Structure 1
Amino acid sequence: MAHDDGGGPAAGPGTPILEIRDLVKHFPLTRGVLFRKQVGAVKAVDGVSFDLHQGETLGIVGESGCGKSTVARLLVGLERPTSGQIRYRGEDISTLSARALRAVRRNIQMVFQDPYTSLNPRMTVGDIIGEPYEIHPEAAPKRDRRRKVQELLEVVGLNPEFIHRYPHQFSGGQRQRIGIARGLALRPEIIVADEPVSALDVSVQAQVVNLLEELQREFALSYVFIAHDLSVVRHISDRVAVMYLGRLAETGTQEQIYDHPTHPYTQALLSAVPVPDPDARTHRDRILLAGDVPSPANPPSGCRFRTRCWKARQLCTDVVPPLDVPEEFRGTASPAGHASACHFAEERHVVPSE
């Protein structure tokens, strides 16, 4: 199947295809029945910035409730940001009209978390995968749609003759393949995958992740891969962004984040990852965090991780730490020289290197 990039100018060398700047999404908290009054806000995403380059996979990891899925919904236009910019090929798409945004959505598609609820049980597989062609008829003439749907089924490893079956006739892994085929229908440049393997068995997870990697090579796709499983993110990602309570705590290449973490929260997350090697388990630096994750409706001042951090000082209460390279590593070739939002960032080897 030939790849069609859906139009638009090509991104130059080193130019991000997607640029996120100071992205904010607050959900209002209201009180009252007849006269509703806003009494606060859930700060789901609060100042997130990152870039995505052509052909790259950016993994976003963090605990449940940290804002990962809200970021995903903002990127594909299912939610409108409170403030900030989402620039696709240099154009801020966060302020586009519904008509203009529909054209952009051809190039930014989404694969949802739950393969059991993301597919309409009353529609056949052919209708589900072919539905994007009804919304964007310019993408495929009616006479070619059946053939294109069958090609997509074959690309994701399913029998093209399954076109008349219904979702309940498939396993969870097969349903997720159908969801991936639907995401590929319009030949997007970017796919936002919101925990696409978390609802699947471990053996099936590996098959779906390998499929995503094959499709990335074949169609020159760029992925924003969202998950809470750090092992899966390490396998598929080129770069990793760690989120905590609506903000990014640390960003870097997968080697920098996993082998040379500098933020205490990243170090705590890595120390909780199951290690199959018994010998490596005994040498692991286990970190136990105190307390619970604060409410996003009332996050702590300064550093949001300070209420659970063993390094917390008065500075952490008073000043929001910038997401920047720690001063001691600036200008060095150290793999610890990557962005970390901590006033007292320092490298710590938590898990023995692979």
Structure 2
Amino acid sequence: MRAEGEEILEVRDLVKHYPLTRGIVFRKQVGAVRAVDGVSFELRRGETLGIVGESGCGKSTVAKMLVNLERPTAGRILYKGEDIADLSGKALKAVRRNIQMVFQDPYTSLNPRMTVGDIVGEPYAIHPEVAPKGDRRRKVQDLLDVVGLNPEYINRYPHQFSGGQRQRIGIARGLALNPEIIICDEPVSALDVSVQAQVVNLLERLQDEFELSYVFIAHDLSVVRHISDRVAVMYLGRLAEIGTEAQIYQHPTHPYTQALLSAVPMPDPAARARRERILLSGDVPSPAHPPSGCRFRTRCWKAQERCVVEVPELAVPEWFRKEGGPPAHPSACHFAEERRVVPPEGTEDPDDT
């Protein structure tokens, strides 16, 4: 558990709305897609914050705003206390040196016309103060070696590598400027399962070696559990629950988190048989027309009239502050209730005793 360091990044009430327009010549805004709608969290030095949720919940939009590839509609992004949400020019360039990104698809995030040396060394052309020209080739070769690639591959092109190797190239590029924070936007979702484990293990090793902080975005809860210190669960542009890895996986209180955990694949047939399976009804609503009140209420078995009219606050439930119970963590549910849906690891099947 690495979540005891100082706060290095803080997100406050982050909002991103994409306008919906009508007309060809005279375009008129008729609505908005509420991709992200009031997300707040913090990242501590040396820790990994996992962000999970279904496709379309706003995870990648949050990632893009953290590196200023998308400008927030509202809210603040504080890096070491400085609001970086609206930076541009030299000020933005200086911040981006310390906050880098590893993209989801290793097949489209690398320029096919550039060699590996040019791809990994490109940050040095933008930030020449980091590495003198005469020293760049050696630095690139060192980075390739650090991520587990042969330094002699420096003159090869992306099409000559496998998917896992390409993602290692992307990671090397992210490390080039010695950043403090790396935003990992589903970095293993396009890879085979065996390769996913290799890349995740590499990221963990690099975190310890370079004292990195990660925001790790994924939809695979098993991967997130392996690498994360804390986990934030998103649904339809908002946070449903946030806490430590143990709190989220062993003591979930939000119905959506409980449903997600009940669908996690389990290799042990005995544990799988003991697990409670929660099937959600209906589809995820459109972010252009989200439900009133609680956004999860249209699929929630606990929904009541209060859920229709009142937006639940992301806060610690009062009943969770019990003496001797698990450490309290925030949940955005009017009727939050602890419910273990996954058997504890290492427990025996009761039928076998």
TM-score bucket (shorter structure): over 0.9
CA distance in 2, matches of 1:265, 1:85: 27
1:69-88 to 2 correspondence within 5 Å? Answer: 69-88=60-79
The alignment partner of 1:17 has SS state of: strand
For the 8 Å contact 1:262–1:336, the answer to whether it is kept is no
Correspondence for 2:286 among 284, 295, 300:
295
* TM-score for both structures, normalised by structure 1: 0.95
Cα-to-partner distance string for 1:301-346 (whole Å, 9 max, x where unaligned): 1100000000000100111100011110126452262110000000
For the 8 Å contact 1:62–1:68, the answer to whether it is kept is yes
The alignment partner of 1:95 has SS state of: coil
Aligned to 2:264: 273
CA apart distance, 1:281: 1.1
CA distance in 2, matches of 1:334, 1:234: 22
Correspondence for 2:340 among 317, 342, 349:
349
Correspondence for 2:164 among 167, 173, 195:
173
Aligned to 1:26: 17
User: Which stretches in structure 1 are left out of the alignment for 5+ residues?
Assistant: 1-12
Aligned to 1:340: 331
For the 8 Å contact 1:336–1:347, the answer to whether it is kept is no
> 2:198 aligned with 1:207, yes or no?
yes
Cα-to-partner distance string for 1:44-87 (whole Å, 9 max, x where unaligned): 00000000000000000000000000000000000000000000
The list of structure 1 runs, each at least 4 consecutive aligned residues, that deviate by more than 3 angstroms after superposition, is none
Q: Which amino acid aligns with 1:34?
A: V
CA apart distance, 1:97: 2.4
* TM-score for both structures, normalised by structure 2: 0.96
> 2:83 aligned with 1:92, yes or no?
yes
CA distance in 2, matches of 1:200, 1:34: 43
Aligned to 1:219: 210
Q: Which amino acid aligns with 2:266?
A: V
For the 8 Å contact 1:271–1:285, the answer to whether it is kept is yes
1:206-285 to 2 correspondence within 5 Å? Answer: 206-285=197-276
Q: Which amino acid aligns with 1:80?
A: R
- The alpha-carbon distance between structure 1 residues 16 and 331, as it changes in their structure 2 partners (threshold 3 A), is farther
For the 8 Å contact 1:324–1:338, the answer to whether it is kept is yes
Correspondence for 1:310 among 281, 291, 301:
301
The alignment partner of 1:349 has SS state of: coil
Aligned residues: 342
CA apart distance, 1:99: 2.3
Aligned to 1:64: 55
CA apart distance, 1:261: 0.3
Correspondence for 1:197 among 188, 193, 198:
188
Give the CA RMSD over aligned residues.
0.9
For the 8 Å contact 1:260–1:336, the answer to whether it is kept is no
The alignment partner of 2:61 has SS state of: helix
User: Which stretches in structure 2 are left out of the alignment for 5+ residues?
Assistant: 346-353
CA apart distance, 1:217: 0.2
